[in-house]
Amino acid sequence: MATDNDLILDAVDAFVARDVLPVAHQLEQQDSYPHEIVEKMKTLGLFGATIGIKYGGLGLPSSTYAQIVERVSAAWMSVSGIFNSHLIMCAAIERFATEEVKERFLPRMASGELRGGIALTEPDCGTDLQAIRTRAVLAGDEYVIDGTKQWITNSVEGNVLAVLVKTDPDAVPAHRGISLLIVEKSAGYRATKLKKLGYRGIDTGEVLFDGVRVSKQNLVGPVEGQGLKQILSGLALGRINVAARGVGVARACLDASLRYAQERKTFGVPIANHQAIQIKLADMATRVEAARLLTEKAANCYDSGERCDLEAGMAKLAATEAAVENSMEALRIHGAYGYSPDNVVERYYRDAPLLAIGEGTNELQRILIARQLVERNPV
């Protein structure tokens, strides 16, 4: 008997086959935003996937959410990014905002009326978020925001951002002076789309805040100075999402390579008969399964309410490296055909490196994993 989880995944599979796969190649090549796909995602409820039922969302566990992301990413990774950044923002609001703020924003975000993103990175600040320069000064009942954010997903086509700001630039340590504000586009920020090697179609922008005013009621949490903790908590879900994306891309590379290796012949036999190709396929399949299991473990840990930064970091590291490695192997198996933009593996090869950079670089993941190992296993 089919479970609710099975029905949801079946609906996602149908959506991918009907609405994503037929148009993914053309939209990606044109770097065109998938407006029609977004409307379908609203209907499916994907913008409310992990938002609580109380606020109009589906209330899905992250384990189910990770399976959704894998399926979507295997078809076109960019589509998963549209609701990933949105749901990281929603997770921070649902965990830390006042009930008034939750009720004001989450139902509209669950429906897709508001599509959000997280504005963290700045031109001179990526991983080191304590070094941000964007300021928010309280003037009466409003914050006045000045600064620039860069590489922000959903900033151009979306209409609300969770913006990390300095509310007390003199605070020591610095994180005590950092807060998180909800800023709707109607407040007046300007976003310009940036060009990228891969991850096309989705809007990634530079955002300018020039005297933008928002109500002090848009502060996430009851007091200032909690923003870094709030957004880092949301990034645990983000890393599980990116890990699931890695599984999806790695699997897509394997599937394409398996098909091609059985169709392409050299020396009178399919290249799948050659040991050199067999070794590549075996390694690719092993990476996919290992990455999927680590992602599932991290998602289950997140759902349990336990601290999961170690598990999420391991999943993100393993799955995204699997995507990078499998994309290279897929290109080699396809040879010159894989190097053509007419072949889907060329897209995988351009998309995969982003996963090793986004949501914290894999170099940072290794450091965080090692620190957690030491912390959890004191001598």
List, for residues 74-117, the tens digit of each pLDDT value. Answer: 999 999 999 999 999 999 999 999 999 999 999 999 999 999 99
Number of H helices, E strands in the chain: 11, 9
On whether the 116-225 domain is CATH 2.60.40.650, my answer is no
- pLDDT at residue 360 is higher than 90: no
Task: Kindly report, residue by residue over 139-197, the tens digit of the pLDDT.
Answer: 999 999 999 999 999 999 999 999 999 999 999 898 899 999 999 999 999 999 999 99
CA distance 158 to 153: 8
CA distance 288 to 68: 16
On whether the 229-376 domain is CATH 1.20.140.10, my answer is yes
CA distance 90 to 102: 9
Side-chain-side CA neighbours of 113 within 13 Å: the count stands at 9
Q: Residues 257, 284: contact at Cβ < 8 Å? A: yes
- Dihedral angle at the C-alpha atoms of 26, 28, 31, 33, nearest 10 degrees? 90
CA distance 39 to 171: 43
The pLDDT > 70 percentage for the chain reads: 99
Number of other CB atoms surrounding residue 286 within 10 Å: 12
What is the band of 1 on the pLDDT scale with cuts at 50, 70, 90? low
Contacts 24+ apart (CB under 8 A), 262-265: none
What is the band of 3 on the pLDDT scale with cuts at 50, 70, 90? low
Hey, where are the domains in the chain?
4-111, 116-225, 229-376
Dihedral (CA of 166, 170, 172, 176) sign: negative
Task: Kindly report, residue by residue over 300-315, the tens digit of the pLDDT.
Answer: 999 998 888 899 999 9
Number of other CB atoms surrounding residue 249 within 10 Å: 32
Tokens found for residue 20 = 């994503």
CA distance 117 to 222: 21
The dihedrals phi and psi of 335, each to the nearest 5 degrees, come to: 60, -140
Mean pLDDT of 340-358: 95
* Cα separation of the two ends of the chain: 50
Least confident of 17-26, 68-77, 235-244: 235-244
The dihedrals phi and psi of 341, each to the nearest 5 degrees, come to: -65, -10
Mean pLDDT taken over the chain: 95
pTM of the predicted protein model? 0.94
- pLDDT at residue 60 is higher than 90: yes
CATH, range 4-111: 1.10.540.10
What is the band of 257 on the pLDDT scale with cuts at 50, 70, 90? very high
CA distance 148 to 210: 9
Q: Provide the 3-class DSSP secondary structure of residue 154.
A: coil
Of 280, 231, 258, the residue nearest 90 (C-alpha):
231
Q: Residues 65, 241: contact at Cβ < 8 Å? A: yes
From 157, 263, 359, 375, the catalytic residue: 359
Q: Residues 124, 146: contact at Cβ < 8 Å? A: no
Q: Length of the chain, please?
A: 379
Side-chain-side CA neighbours of 129 within 13 Å: the count stands at 23
Q: For this structure, is 359 an active site residue?
A: yes
Between CA 211 and CA 221, with CA 215 as vertex, the angle to 5 degrees is 115
Tokens found for residue 22 = 């037929």
Of 251, 246, 315, the residue nearest 286 (C-alpha):
251
Of 314, 323, 287, 358, the residue nearest 126 (C-alpha):
358
Q: Residues 73, 241: contact at Cβ < 8 Å? A: no
Question: SS3 for 63-98, per residue?
Answer: HHHHHHHHHHHHHCHHHHHHHHHHHHHHHHHHHHCC
Quickly list H helices, the chain: 4-15, 21-30, 35-44, 62-75, 77-96, 99-111, 227-263, 275-304, 309-334, 344-355, 362-376
